[in-house]
Protein backbone atom coordinates (compact mmCIF):
# COMPACT_ATOMS: atom_id res chain seq x y z
CA UNK A 1 0.00 0.00 0.00
CA UNK A 2 1.29 3.43 -0.86
CA UNK A 3 1.11 5.68 2.19
CA UNK A 4 1.95 9.37 2.36
CA UNK A 5 2.84 10.96 5.67
CA UNK A 6 2.04 14.68 5.86
CA UNK A 7 3.66 16.00 9.04
CA UNK A 8 3.19 19.36 10.67
CA UNK A 9 2.12 21.18 13.77
CA UNK A 10 -1.14 22.32 12.09
CA UNK A 11 -1.88 25.02 14.67
CA UNK A 12 -4.55 25.18 13.22
CA UNK A 13 -5.00 23.25 9.99
CA UNK A 14 -5.97 25.61 7.17
CA UNK A 15 -7.61 25.25 3.78
CA UNK A 16 -4.10 25.46 2.32
CA UNK A 17 -3.13 22.36 4.29
CA UNK A 18 -6.35 20.68 3.20
CA UNK A 19 -5.52 21.35 -0.45
CA UNK A 20 -2.17 19.57 -0.03
CA UNK A 21 -3.84 16.64 1.75
CA UNK A 22 -6.46 16.35 -1.01
CA UNK A 23 -3.75 16.43 -3.71
CA UNK A 24 -1.81 13.69 -1.91
CA UNK A 25 -4.99 11.61 -1.53
CA UNK A 26 -5.33 11.60 -5.32
CA UNK A 27 -1.86 10.04 -5.63
CA UNK A 28 -1.57 7.70 -2.65
CA UNK A 29 -3.83 4.94 -1.35
CA UNK A 30 -3.65 6.32 2.17
CA UNK A 31 -2.64 9.67 3.64
CA UNK A 32 -1.72 10.11 7.26
CA UNK A 33 -1.86 13.67 8.52
CA UNK A 34 0.67 13.50 11.33
CA UNK A 35 0.26 16.22 13.91
CA UNK A 36 3.55 16.65 15.66
CA UNK A 37 4.94 18.59 18.57
CA UNK A 38 8.00 20.46 17.37
CA UNK A 39 10.41 21.18 20.22
CA UNK A 40 13.41 22.59 18.38
CA UNK A 41 15.06 23.50 21.69
CA UNK A 42 16.09 19.84 21.98
CA UNK A 43 18.21 20.18 18.85
CA UNK A 44 19.09 23.87 18.75
CA UNK A 45 19.89 25.69 21.99
CA UNK A 46 19.30 29.06 20.30
CA UNK A 47 15.77 28.10 19.19
CA UNK A 48 12.73 29.37 21.03
CA UNK A 49 10.13 26.91 22.26
CA UNK A 50 7.07 27.02 20.04
CA UNK A 51 3.93 28.23 21.79
CA UNK A 52 0.82 26.50 20.47
CA UNK A 53 -2.63 28.09 20.48
CA UNK A 54 -4.27 24.66 20.30
CA UNK A 55 -3.10 21.63 22.25
CA UNK A 56 -2.41 18.35 20.42
CA UNK A 57 -5.91 16.95 21.02
CA UNK A 58 -7.52 20.12 19.67
CA UNK A 59 -5.24 20.16 16.61
CA UNK A 60 -6.17 16.54 15.89
CA UNK A 61 -9.86 17.36 16.21
CA UNK A 62 -9.58 20.39 13.90
CA UNK A 63 -7.64 18.34 11.33
CA UNK A 64 -10.23 15.54 11.44
CA UNK A 65 -13.04 18.04 10.89
CA UNK A 66 -11.09 19.66 8.05
CA UNK A 67 -10.25 16.40 6.25
CA UNK A 68 -13.45 14.44 6.97
CA UNK A 69 -14.60 14.64 3.36
CA UNK A 70 -11.33 13.37 1.83
CA UNK A 71 -11.34 9.58 1.35
CA UNK A 72 -8.30 7.64 2.49
CA UNK A 73 -7.13 10.20 5.06
CA UNK A 74 -6.55 9.61 8.72
CA UNK A 75 -5.17 11.93 11.38
CA UNK A 76 -2.64 10.81 13.97
CA UNK A 77 -0.37 12.55 16.46
CA UNK A 78 3.10 11.78 17.69
CA UNK A 79 5.92 13.46 19.54
CA UNK A 80 9.50 12.59 18.76
CA UNK A 81 11.20 12.39 15.41
CA UNK A 82 9.39 12.27 12.10
CA UNK A 83 11.76 9.60 10.80
CA UNK A 84 10.68 7.25 13.62
CA UNK A 85 6.98 7.90 12.98
CA UNK A 86 7.62 7.37 9.26
CA UNK A 87 8.81 3.82 10.00
CA UNK A 88 6.08 3.20 12.59
CA UNK A 89 3.37 4.05 10.03
CA UNK A 90 5.24 2.28 7.21
CA UNK A 91 5.26 5.44 5.14
CA UNK A 92 6.09 5.40 1.44
CA UNK A 93 6.95 9.10 1.29
CA UNK A 94 6.82 12.29 3.31
CA UNK A 95 4.69 14.93 1.58
CA UNK A 96 5.23 18.62 2.18
CA UNK A 97 3.32 21.50 0.66
CA UNK A 98 5.37 24.48 -0.46
CA UNK A 99 4.00 27.98 -1.03
CA UNK A 100 7.15 29.77 -2.14
CA UNK A 101 10.93 29.60 -2.40
CA UNK A 102 11.37 30.19 1.34
CA UNK A 103 9.12 27.23 2.15
CA UNK A 104 11.06 25.06 -0.28
CA UNK A 105 14.45 26.03 1.17
CA UNK A 106 13.20 25.39 4.72
CA UNK A 107 11.65 22.03 3.80
CA UNK A 108 14.70 21.01 1.78
CA UNK A 109 16.91 21.31 4.88
CA UNK A 110 14.53 19.09 6.85
CA UNK A 111 14.25 16.59 4.01
CA UNK A 112 18.03 16.30 3.78
CA UNK A 113 18.30 15.67 7.52
CA UNK A 114 15.48 13.09 7.43
CA UNK A 115 17.07 11.24 4.51
CA UNK A 116 20.48 11.27 6.17
CA UNK A 117 19.01 9.62 9.26
CA UNK A 118 16.52 7.33 7.51
CA UNK A 119 17.32 6.43 3.87
CA UNK A 120 13.68 5.43 3.28
CA UNK A 121 12.32 8.83 4.34
CA UNK A 122 12.14 10.59 0.98
CA UNK A 123 10.19 13.84 0.62
CA UNK A 124 7.79 14.78 -2.16
CA UNK A 125 6.96 18.47 -2.53
CA UNK A 126 3.51 19.55 -3.69
CA UNK A 127 3.11 23.17 -4.74
CA UNK A 128 0.34 25.14 -3.10
CA UNK A 129 -2.67 26.07 -5.15
CA UNK A 130 -2.17 29.78 -5.97
CA UNK A 131 -5.48 30.54 -4.24
CA UNK A 132 -3.90 29.37 -0.96
CA UNK A 133 -0.31 30.52 -1.44
CA UNK A 134 -0.80 33.29 1.15
CA UNK A 135 -2.49 31.02 3.72
CA UNK A 136 -0.62 29.78 6.78
CA UNK A 137 -1.36 28.76 10.34
CA UNK A 138 0.43 31.94 11.41
CA UNK A 139 -2.07 34.01 9.40
CA UNK A 140 -4.95 32.10 11.00
CA UNK A 141 -3.58 32.69 14.52
CA UNK A 142 -3.02 36.40 13.81
CA UNK A 143 -6.59 36.80 12.55
CA UNK A 144 -7.96 34.87 15.53
CA UNK A 145 -6.11 37.16 17.90
CA UNK A 146 -7.60 40.21 16.17
CA UNK A 147 -11.09 38.70 16.01
CA UNK A 148 -11.07 38.79 12.20
CA UNK A 149 -12.96 36.54 9.79
CA UNK A 150 -11.37 33.14 9.15
CA UNK A 151 -13.96 31.70 6.77
CA UNK A 152 -11.68 32.03 3.73
CA UNK A 153 -8.81 30.08 5.31
CA UNK A 154 -10.37 27.57 7.75
CA UNK A 155 -12.78 24.76 6.79
CA UNK A 156 -16.39 25.51 7.83
CA UNK A 157 -16.84 22.68 10.37
CA UNK A 158 -13.43 23.34 11.88
CA UNK A 159 -14.17 27.06 12.09
CA UNK A 160 -17.49 26.39 13.80
CA UNK A 161 -15.71 24.23 16.37
CA UNK A 162 -12.96 26.82 16.91
CA UNK A 163 -15.48 29.66 17.40
CA UNK A 164 -17.40 27.64 19.98
CA UNK A 165 -14.43 26.20 21.84
CA UNK A 166 -11.72 28.87 21.90
CA UNK A 167 -11.97 32.30 23.48
Please, what are the domains in the chain? 3-165 (3.40.50.620)
What band does 166 get if pLDDT is binned at 50, 70 and 90?
Answer: confident
d(CA 147, CA 101): 30
**Could you write out the DSSP letters of every residue in 68-132?**
TTSTTEEEEEE-S-HHHHHHHTT-SEEEEEE-SHHHHHHHHHHHHHHHHH-TT--EEEEEPPGGG
What band does 44 get if pLDDT is binned at 50, 70 and 90?
Answer: low
Please write the tens of the pLDDT for every residue from 71-126. 999 999 998 899 999 999 999 999 999 999 998 999 999 999 999 999 999 999 99
Which pTM was predicted? 0.91
Amino acid sequence: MSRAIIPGSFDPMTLGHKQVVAAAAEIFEEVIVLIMYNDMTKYDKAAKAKAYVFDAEERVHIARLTCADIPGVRVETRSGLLIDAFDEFEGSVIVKGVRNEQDFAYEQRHAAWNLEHNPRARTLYLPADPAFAHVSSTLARERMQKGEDLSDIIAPKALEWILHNKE
